A and B are shown apart, each in its own frame.
Chain A
């Protein structure tokens, strides 16, 4: 049973829940559901929950069939892309169809563990697309940094990291997992990659947008040429050179071109420059220097479907990142299970801590520098923990620690020290790049701790 959820009875006996109450919903509760129907009465909450579900790395959660029950509202493109469909009445048939397909496809999957966050995201993406036969399409989104979004990928990249988002798609196509077909093109600011641009015609001399244009008139009979204003009189258009009235365009006169005038510097010109003002970072860029982005619609290739089943195996891509004194994540999970079993027997309490770096992909792209930082941090953690503590580093992002029977207060203080020291280290390494969100937290392990729930929680960190 899901708190705030109402079970929808169905002939297949599937666990389908209608969620209308979004208060304190914990996605871990959905791991055992077969499908969800989210009520669109509170669109913001629906969207937030939907994004939470799809951004999870737990397969049973992010692959969960989710429908939107929408009696009278309008569902956005993002929600449409992240859900499995809209229902105007709660019907069993379409939901069950998706449940059956997803379940069947999931049977093909083999377990996949990786240290690479990119591979993790791609594998997740492939599995989602594979279970639904879904294509990955760019969606127009005025709230998006670039103006376009691939909603499913965006969940894993903060706003402003559009290029990283596109890079992962390119990797997918470069390795023949995806086949892309052209959908659209967009132009973005070369400085901050925002697609929110104000394109303006500007003065060729002073770049002011305070310009206006006027038609030029050619009076055939006397060959006078000048702006329309020269001809304007109360009697209509009268030639300032020969005083004749201009009656008939094409016979007496024509308008062969226009002239622009700058109201700031008085410059006159015929072809204004066009510059783009980035509404995000205020940078002015001539249109020819804007970055052009091609937006493709992606479908899985045979290779992509294989990768969905087995996880990505690209030679050379996934290098084992071993840190002295740290166990790999699989081993760590085994230790964690043993520790939970142990304290259940002993009746004591232990702690599991984590420090997440949350570095933007941009800072991770210089691999050498990133690994050096991680090794420095791990040295520091190792030197400040006991030899009985179990340490691990996962997903290019998070340090995990098991502190057997150390006590909540001691662990809280220790993690706080870790966070402060790591922050200093990051400041020294990435000058002028204060874009990380360092988090440190811990869980108390005691007799009530459920291994599965904890594992799920660990995987979502």
Chain B
């Protein structure tokens, strides 16, 4: 062991910086600028802007309470009965209280209807709608939308809970700019301690949601209002006819609102907590689904974003381009890079893997420290640093492989149309009409 480390340090201390950059060009040229330097700069600018706009933000917040609009919280759920009482409790604690809570049960076959009907009778749920036959998440959300009476729609997942001011915070941006069509809430992991894999996801969420979306929002290319926690102007949802068949329906509806020319912003101060998968199998299935939707929606359904016609918008173009470039193109490039590395430097491949873990670890470390400095619960989140040394395995290998497999399968076989996440009656129609 000692000999290995001696070899490791002797090797890297004697290698010229130029060769290190050549060996790790992927990291230094693509990942450091985008995920470290760029983030650092943008986060600083984001915070400065927030400081600069604090008085107008306060005014918007006051305006929200002066107008006190009715909002509709819609929660599509299937077999989520056990989460509903907690969700209801979390909502009754909110600082913003003028809401109508609509739960839509999409064909649950457990005790969800019993639990929800009881809560409805107790007046804790304003409207409980149930489909005896499962119709899919989009149809459930659309049913909720049809009976929603609020000015804004807050879409939640049933297993999500909220900071006391989360609803207030997600609504306030609407009063800062009339062109804002939707606001994405910050989603963090509640069950990070339940499993190691959940801990990795907790770090990932901080990086890709809290940090990643903050940056995207600042740049005007924010493209997914999370289904777990997002707010929309109801008139816009009505105009686009609500959600289309998923998976990836939250990204799809965000693009549809962007196409109408409205701004989409992320509000990191509006915090929700959600449970993430605690087994590799469930996580892999979830990520297959998420990744497939990128091909299906960005490349197929909304391919017109790349066409320079009269509806062309640079922000939408860059939003999708960035998404495709960093996920699809760079994933392909990464495989090319790894294969080339293995072929050209088979003798030092192990040294390179350890070095790579070190470099990514440093990068992730800085990023997470940055997030924790801004976070409202930084003291708890700083403990997640223990996952950093191994993040590159989770993020750099596991997730990248899952993603790439999903892209290829979707590209070649349109596998998303066979996903049991949607009932087959809907998938058949979606496939037939190439939706």
Report which A residues bind B (CB closer than 8 A).
204, 216, 218, 220-227, 230, 240-242, 250-252, 254, 256-257, 259, 268-271
Extra inter-chain contacts (9) besides given A225-B131, A252-B429, CB under 8 Å: A221-B435, A223-B244, A224-B242, A225-B139, A225-B142, A240-B241, A241-B242, A259-B129, A270-B128
Closest CB-CB distance, A391 to chain B, in whole Å? 61
Q: Cβ of A221 and Cβ of B139 under 8 Å apart?
A: no
Task: Determine the chain A residues whose CB is within 8 A of the CB of B433 once the complex forms.
Answer: 221
Q: Name B243's contact: one of A223, A226, A271 (CB within 8 Å).
A: A223
Given A222-B241, A223-B242, check contact A257 B435 (CB 8 Å). no
Q: Cβ of B131 and Cβ of A216 under 8 Å apart?
A: yes
Task: Determine the chain A residues whose CB is within 8 A of the CB of B131 once the complex forms.
Answer: 216, 218, 225, 256-257
Task: Determine the chain A residues whose CB is within 8 A of the CB of B147 once the complex forms.
Answer: 259, 268
Given A241-B242, A256-B107, A271-B117, check contact A223 B133 (CB 8 Å). no
Q: How far is the CA of A222 from the CA of B246 in the complex (A)?
A: 10
Q: How far is the CA of A172 from the CA of B308 in the complex (A)?
A: 93
Q: Cβ of B242 and Cβ of A270 under 8 Å apart?
A: no
Q: Cβ of A241 and Cβ of B139 under 8 Å apart?
A: no
**Would you mind naming 23 contact pairs between A and B with Cβ atoms under 8 Å apart?**
A204-B120, A221-B426, A221-B432, A221-B433, A221-B435, A222-B241, A223-B136, A223-B142, A223-B244, A223-B245, A224-B142, A224-B241, A225-B135, A226-B146, A230-B146, A241-B241, A251-B425, A256-B133, A259-B147, A268-B147, A269-B120, A270-B128, A271-B120
Q: Cβ of B143 and Cβ of A220 under 8 Å apart?
A: no
Closest CB-CB distance, A249 to chain B, in whole Å? 11
Q: How many A-B contacts are there with CB distance less than 8 Å?
A: 82
Question: What is the total number of residues of chain B having a CB less than 8 Å from a CB of chain A?
Answer: 33
Q: How far is the CA of A251 from the CA of B432 in the complex (A)?
A: 12
Q: Cβ of B143 and Cβ of A204 under 8 Å apart?
A: no
Residue on A with the closest CB to B107?
A256
Report which B residues bind A (CB closer than 8 A).
107, 117, 120-121, 127-133, 135-136, 138-140, 142-143, 146-147, 241-245, 425-426, 428-430, 432-433, 435
Q: Cβ of B139 and Cβ of A223 under 8 Å apart?
A: yes
Q: How far is the CA of A269 from the CA of B131 in the complex (A)?
A: 13
Q: Cβ of B135 and Cβ of A256 under 8 Å apart?
A: yes
Q: Cβ of B146 and Cβ of A242 under 8 Å apart?
A: no
Q: Name A218's contact: one of B130, B135, B242 (CB within 8 Å).
A: B135
Q: Cβ of B130 and Cβ of A270 under 8 Å apart?
A: yes
Closest CB-CB distance, B260 to chain A, in whole Å? 15
Q: How far is the CA of A276 from the CA of B433 in the complex (A)?
A: 50
Residue on A with the closest CB to B113?
A271
Across the A-B interface, the 3 shortest Cβ-Cβ residue pairs: A241-B241, A223-B138, A256-B131
Task: Determine the chain A residues whose CB is within 8 A of the CB of B140 once the complex forms.
Answer: 225
Task: Determine the chain A residues whose CB is within 8 A of the CB of B139 once the complex forms.
Answer: 218, 223-225
Closest CB-CB distance, B189 to chain A, in whole Å? 29
Q: How far is the CA of A254 from the CA of B132 in the complex (A)?
A: 11
Q: How far is the CA of A227 from the CA of B147 in the complex (A)?
A: 10
Q: Cβ of A204 and Cβ of B135 under 8 Å apart?
A: no
Task: Determine the chain B residues whose CB is within 8 A of the CB of A230 once the complex forms.
Answer: 146
Residue on A with the closest CB to B143?
A225
Q: How far is the CA of A225 from the CA of B138 in the complex (A)?
A: 9
Q: How far is the CA of A221 from the CA of B423 in the complex (A)?
A: 12
Q: How far is the CA of A2 from the CA of B127 in the complex (A)?
A: 74
Q: Cβ of A216 and Cβ of B143 under 8 Å apart?
A: yes
Q: How far is the CA of A251 from the CA of B435 in the complex (A)?
A: 16
Task: Determine the chain A residues whose CB is within 8 A of the CB of B146 once the complex forms.
Answer: 225-227, 230
Residue on B with the closest CB to A239?
B241
Q: Cβ of A220 and Cβ of B142 under 8 Å apart?
A: no
Q: How far is the CA of A218 from the CA of B241 in the complex (A)?
A: 13
Residue on A with the closest CB to B133?
A256
Residue on B with the closest CB to A268?
B147
Q: Cβ of A221 and Cβ of B430 under 8 Å apart?
A: yes
Closest CB-CB distance, A106 to chain B, in whole Å? 60
Q: How far is the CA of A368 from the CA of B138 in the complex (A)?
A: 70
Task: Determine the chain A residues whose CB is within 8 A of the CB of B432 once the complex forms.
Answer: 221
**Looking at A220, A221, A223, A227, which has the most chain B CB atoms within 10 Å of its CB?**
A223
Q: Cβ of B127 and Cβ of A268 under 8 Å apart?
A: yes
Closest CB-CB distance, B301 to chain A, in whole Å? 13
Q: How far is the CA of A252 from the CA of B430 in the complex (A)?
A: 11
Closest CB-CB distance, A405 to chain B, in whole Å? 75
Residue on B with the closest CB to A252?
B429
Q: Cβ of A257 and Cβ of B130 under 8 Å apart?
A: yes
Q: How far is the CA of A242 from the CA of B142 in the complex (A)?
A: 13
Task: Determine the chain B residues whose CB is within 8 A of the CB of A223 once the complex forms.
Answer: 135-136, 138-139, 142, 242-245, 426
Q: How far is the CA of A227 from the CA of B429 in the complex (A)?
A: 21
**Looking at A227, A240, A250, A270, which has the most chain B CB atoms within 10 Å of its CB?**
A270
Q: Cβ of B430 and Cβ of A256 under 8 Å apart?
A: no
Q: How far is the CA of A288 from the CA of B41 in the complex (A)?
A: 65
Q: Cβ of A220 and Cβ of B426 under 8 Å apart?
A: yes
Residue on B with the closest CB to A230?
B146
